[in-house]
Amino acid sequence: MQQGCDISPRSLSGRIVGGVWWFFTLIIISSYTANLAAFLTVERMVSPIESAEDLAKQTEIAYGTLEAGSTKEFFRRSKIAVFEKMWTYMKSAEPSVFVRTTEEGMIRVRKSKGKYAYLLESTMNEYIEQRKPCDTMKVGGNLDSKGYGIATPKGSALRNPVNLAVLKLNEQGLLDKLKNKWWYDKGECGSGGGDSKDKTSALSLSNVAGVFYILIGGLGLAMLVALIEFCYKSRSESKRMKRFSLPPALKHTQNQRKISNHSSGFNVTISQHA
């Protein structure tokens, strides 16, 4: 089935509007189709590790943590069987799976090509995940729950005001807003939080802003051409009217000539008799 229009634009401005509109429609439909195809066929990162239990059960992927930090102490002191097994592996692994800094751990993850997993605090993990080169991903949930605090000298008068201020910020939801602002809104790998790996980027207005600029520019050009056509046609009509219209004096002279010719055409000749 086909559908068309019986009326096609004849003026240049109308053709410009029609051409720009069809170009705009073509780009929008093509962009939507491409994004839909990407959404249906996207190859997501598939990790063989989904939890700490998966790490403990296998030996192909090495895993470690910061050499001196709370994460290492968590595994060393844990009485949970899975974490004890992981600690036994980490302290006896050769070469050592511990790193001196988080930067060193991330470099090791990137160079290992999927053969090394770095265990670190979720807050730092989510922050790094949202920074370029966007080639790392958070796997599984949190192993435990910890809180951050602001240290003050013992007996300091600042302790209670700081506690109240932090509690107030937490109740108002400002702490979550600040985290979203600096972790995700200002992230370099797309928004969406810690599970952004499971999301496909949407076709936003910024992605197709260019075609809207073309549409607006085309409409502006069409309006300019239409104005020029109108002025040109008005001037042509004015010249044509002047060409076929005579001045009043010339009209009066022409009318007199017509009357004279009309009178001479009706002269009567009378014969004279002697």
Write out the binding residues for L-glutamate: 70-71, 121
Secondary structure letter of residue 99 according to DSSP: B
The CA–CA distances, whole Å, from 79 to 74, 75, 117, 268 equal 10, 9, 22, 144
The residue length of the chain stands at 274
Both structure tokens of 55: 């790490």
The CA–CA distances, whole Å, from 104 to 65, 88, 110, 111, 149 equal 10, 22, 10, 11, 26
Q: 3-state DSSP call for residue 78? A: coil
Closest CA to 114 of 74, 55, 196: 55
Write down the residue that tokens 């600096």 correspond to: 182
Q: Which residues neighbour 32 within 8 Å (Cβ) at sequence distance 6 or greater?
A: 203
- Looking only at the bridges linking them, the beta strands covering 116-119 and 62-65 are parallel
Radius of gyration of the chain (CA): 42
Asked whether the bond before 161 is cis by omega within 30 degrees of 0, the reply is no
Known binding positions: 70-71, 121
